[in-house]
Structure 1
Amino acid sequence: MKVLLLGGTGEARELARVLVGAGVGVISSLAGRTTEARLPVGEVRTGGFGGADGLADWLREHPVDAVIDATHPFAATMTAHAAAARRETGVPLLVLRRPGWTQGPDDNWHWADLATAANLLPSLGSRVFLTIGRQGLDAFATTGLWTLARCVDAPEPRPTWCTLILARGPFTLADELALLREHRIDVLVTKDSGGPATSAKLDAARQLHLPVVIIRRPDLPAGLETVLSVDEAVRWVMRPT
Structure 2
Amino acid sequence: MTQVLVLGGTGEARALAAGLVHRGVAVTSSLAGRVANPRLPAGEVRVGGFGGPDGLARWLTEHGTAAVVDATHPFAERIGASAATATSQAGVPLLRLQRPGWQQGPGDDWHWVDTLDEAATVAERLGDRIFLTSGRQGLSAFARCTRPYFLARCVDPPEPPLPPRLDVLLDRGPYTVEGETALLREHRIDVLVTKDSGGDMTTAKLVAARQEGVPVVVVRRPPRPPAHTVADVDAALRWVSAILDA
Q: CA deviation at 1:160?
A: 5.7
1:164 paired residue number: 168
2:134 paired residue number: 132
Name structure 1 gaps, 5 residues minimum.
Answer: none
- Give me the whole-angstrom Cα distance separating, in 2, the residues matched to 1:75 and 1:20: 25
Aligned pairs (5 A) from 1:58-69: 58-69=59-70
Question: Secondary structure, in 3 states, of the residue corresponding to 2:17?
Answer: helix
2:121 paired residue number: 119
Q: Select the residue among 142, 145, 149 that pairs with 1:146.
A: 149
Q: CA deviation at 1:14?
A: 0.4
Letter in 2 for 1:32: G
- Give me the whole-angstrom Cα distance separating, in 1, the residues matched to 2:229 and 2:192: 30
2:241 paired residue number: 238
String of CA shifts for 1:178-201, please: whole Å, max 9, x gaps: 111010000000000011111110
Aligned pairs (5 A) from 1:1-241: 2-114=3-115, 115-143=117-145, 144-157=147-160, 159=162, 161=164, 162-222=166-226, 224-239=227-242, 240-241=245-246
Q: CA deviation at 1:73?
A: 0.5
- Give me the whole-angstrom Cα distance separating, in 1, the residues matched to 2:25 and 2:71: 16
Report % sequence identity: 61
TM-score of the superposition, structure 1-length normalised? 0.96
Letter in 1 for 2:57: A
CA RMSD in angstroms comes to: 1.3
Letter in 2 for 1:179: L
- Give me the whole-angstrom Cα distance separating, in 2, the residues matched to 1:35 and 1:17: 22
Residues 144, 163 of structure 2: 8 Å contact kept: no
Question: Secondary structure, in 3 states, of the residue corresponding to 1:136?
Answer: helix
Letter in 1 for 2:206: L
Q: CA deviation at 1:34?
A: 0.5
Q: CA deviation at 1:45?
A: 0.9
Question: Secondary structure, in 3 states, of the residue corresponding to 1:201?
Answer: helix
Name structure 2 gaps, 5 residues minimum.
Answer: none
- Give me the whole-angstrom Cα distance separating, in 2, the residues matched to 1:90 and 1:118: 42
Q: CA deviation at 1:173?
A: 1.0
TM-score of the superposition, structure 2-length normalised? 0.94
Tell which deviates more after alignment, 2-11 or 156-165: 156-165
